[in-house]
A and B are shown apart, each in its own frame.
Chain A
Amino acid sequence: MTMRFGHRAVATFSAMVLLTVTAACGGDGTAGSNTTTDDDGILRWGSSTKPASLDPRKSATFDPIFLLEVYDPLIRRDAKGELVPALATEWKLADDAKALDLTLRQGVTFQDGAEFNAEAVKANIEAGKKPGSNLAASLAVVDTVEAVDATHVTLTMNAPSSHILNVLAGEAGYMISPNALNNADLGTKPVGAGPFKVTTYNQSSLIYEKWDGYWDADAIKLKRIDMTFLLDEATRLRALTSGQVDAAPIRSNQKKEAQAAGMKFTTGEAAFLYGLMLNTSKSELDKPLVRQALVHAIDRQAINQAFFAGDCAPVVQPFPSSHWGHVAGLEESTEGKYDPELAKQLLAQAGLPNGFTLNMYMGTASLFQSVAQAIQAQLAKVGITAKLTAMENTALATARRKGDFESSFASIQSGRPDPSQFAVDFYTPTGVFNPGKTRIDGIDGPLQTLRQSADQGARAQAMSQIVTTALKAGPPMTPVCSALVVWAHSDKVKGLEIAVNYDYEFRNASMTK
């Protein structure tokens, strides 16, 4: 790992060491003010993942944290999940939700000098729809893109798509310079219109430098972001506590150690959860009773307390409690509660009184291995024998896409690009994460409302219906718990925000002196 330990950093670190060793009594121990913003602030971030690609068309689910520095989206989704103007200043969805008019910001240029205009937007969306792009599925609903004039674009959809706003707030709306769209190395040398440029990207680090040509450059308070890839949890925490990085995500049960080292925390809920993805065409998973049994067999509270220090709220649904798609009380309901006896009864009813065998894939990170083993033991109690296999992320993602798995314990995003996409991906027969093509009755109506209506109230109600119906039908994905996202950092770091929909940016972050 190539650490850029400038003299200032060495002095700071030495000072910290000295103070920690000599200051026997408590107190902050930090000399000097921590309220003056450092205009040359460098944020050193300990990253828990590596990007699959810095090209939004090829990036992986958890990559927006790497992309949003370089690319500005058409519509920005802030930390609370609200849509605010970015490269598009206004938008209007037609009443039938089949057309969208965008008004674009003027005077914006890309990092390579290309002009941002309607033609650029058109080129981006059309490129995103091409086969080979991960965005093709979510943009499939877009029929035509028309550059009405330099600052107005109209999208025409082939079906009611009120969710298109959220889609354009996600990777599909991250605008790439039209001159760079066909760059073979875009995945490592991204060109966007965002606040930072990538200056170094290698095995161990990713470095962003502030770009003065950004249209909103005054709002950006960081001069540089140095990301170091620290995939191992224990190593990442140690890098944090020893001062090699300023901020990093940690697991809740590491909070004690972080606190002892003087770290502060920024926490927030996010639309992702730990759960068991099921391939309903394999093993006995096509039987709804079996899937219901799985829901009842898992002791979510025990897992929560043991591995997440109580910060992973048990859920039997895809969304956390602060999300508009959450249905209160499901976890204690008859369909959702922890009840191993009931699980055994359901299995017997399904004709499997002696249980059955299930292959479970999991990632290589220690968290997944530990929790998967705990789940294995819980399933064994109701007669289900789970066989565990650890697989690396890329291989795991491929296996899942191809349907080459029976079950997989994973962390699952539920909110991107729009919560309705989750329902489509998991609960509809053509869904990308529904290899068994299971049909759940009663989903179609509410799904249509989700896609057609721009009224948040109606959408929330529709989503409730979907979530409850799926649970009652034996969900094709067994939720376990939704973890609080915890970022630990030194008190010099300000303005960190946990975005509920994973739109992590460091826009408002700053370092104090």
Chain B
Amino acid sequence: MTATLQFQAGPAPAVGTARRGRTSTVASLMRRPSFVVAAGFLVFLVVVAALAPLIAPHDPSAQVLEDRLKGPSWSHLLGTDDLGRDVLSRLVYAARLALLAPLISVSVAILLGVPAGLWAGLRRGWVDAVTGRLSDTLLSLPGLAFALAVVAVLGPGLFNAMVAMGIVFAPSLYRVVRGATLAVAEESYIESARAIGCSTRRIIWVHVLPNIAAPFLVQVTILMGVALLAEASLSFLGLGVQPPDSSWGSMLEVAYQNQYDAPLAVLPAGTALVLTVLSFNTVGDAIRDTVARRRDS
């Protein structure tokens, strides 16, 4: 996955200038148009998801069987699906899942990957070796395949599928955190801090975390995008979100089944997916490029 490559390309951020660097990092981010647009889109998505009942023109579950698979019209800006439900309203409501589902995965990945990465980076030793091997193992499983296996055991459902993906993502986050922590830990001031008896917790909070924030955030944004695509795939296969709930992925499946009657029906959900993943990726790219530039300057 791009995840691991990120680790190879990502440099350790400037150390010692954490606090001041953070504020102007944000400022330089805001000067990049691509970041502004992408972040803006994500904020827009959050707003849409939160205000869905107010924004959606129709009840997303209101079926009017006589009006199924109709094209765009004034009352249905994006047409209707195979049960006569308004596509735009469903798209809007499904935005909630488009944010929630990746959040579940990434949270699981953070829970599993970050503490392990921190420990491996700071303490090294056998923990590092063991978690390293575990991470290699998980990375050698095709993510979707592993998610399928978990779904087989736990049963279909959005939550199960996303937890499975979270487990799959944990190693890449672990690697990034470990790598960045290693870079930080090598700085001599950490040694000094230890020598004068600072607790590990303080070391982590005050010194390590701020400095690994950038690569961590980059990785998280990438994972959000990948998680969203994974959710779309699983729901498309019928193993993710279960009817009558729907996500952009399951909307795509319905559109696909009816492609002959409504060839363009695959566009709304697909475009929403692409734009959202694109936004995640762009935000991540922007953070990485900004930090890199700061380091190089």
Interface residues in chain A, defined as those with a beta carbon under 8 Å from any beta carbon in chain B: 233-234, 237, 253-254, 256-257, 299, 302-303, 305-306, 364, 366, 369-370, 372-374, 376-377, 388-390
Contacts and interface: CB of A to CB of B under 8 A. Distances in A.
Given A364-B238, A373-B83, A390-B238, A256 B65 contact: no
Given A302-B66, A306-B68, 19 more contacts: A234-B256, A234-B257, A253-B261, A254-B260, A302-B65, A305-B65, A306-B65, A306-B83, A364-B238, A366-B254, A369-B243, A370-B82, A370-B83, A374-B63, A374-B65, A374-B83, A377-B61, A388-B242, A388-B243
B268 to A, nearest CB: 18
B65 A390 contact: no
A25 B85 CA distance: 38
B244 interface: yes
Contact of B243 (A237, A254, A373): A373
Contacts of B24: none
B259 to A, nearest CB: 7
B242 A390 contact: yes
28 contacts: A234-B256, A237-B260, A253-B261, A254-B260, A256-B260, A256-B261, A257-B261, A299-B65, A303-B65, A305-B65, A306-B68, A364-B238, A366-B253, A366-B254, A366-B257, A369-B243, A370-B254, A372-B243, A373-B63, A373-B83, A373-B244, A377-B61, A377-B62, A388-B243, A389-B242, A390-B156, A390-B238, A390-B243
Given A254-B260, A377-B61, A306 B66 contact: yes
Interface of B: 61-63, 65-66, 68, 82-84, 156, 238, 242-244, 253-254, 256-257, 259-261
Contacts of B244: 373, 376, 388
Nearest to A260: B260
Contacts of B68: 306
Contacts of B242: 388-390
A115 B83 CA distance: 57
A370 B83 CA distance: 7
Given A305-B66, A389-B242, A390-B243, A377 B83 contact: yes
A234 B253 CA distance: 11
B91 to A, nearest CB: 17
Contacts of B82: 370
A372 B83 CA distance: 11
A298 to B, nearest CB: 12
A306 B192 CA distance: 74
Contacts of A369: 243
Contacts of A389: 242
Contacts of A254: 260
Q: Which 6 A-B pairs have the closest CB atoms?
A: A306-B65, A257-B260, A377-B63, A302-B65, A366-B257, A234-B257
A391 to B, nearest CB: 9
A257 B257 CA distance: 12
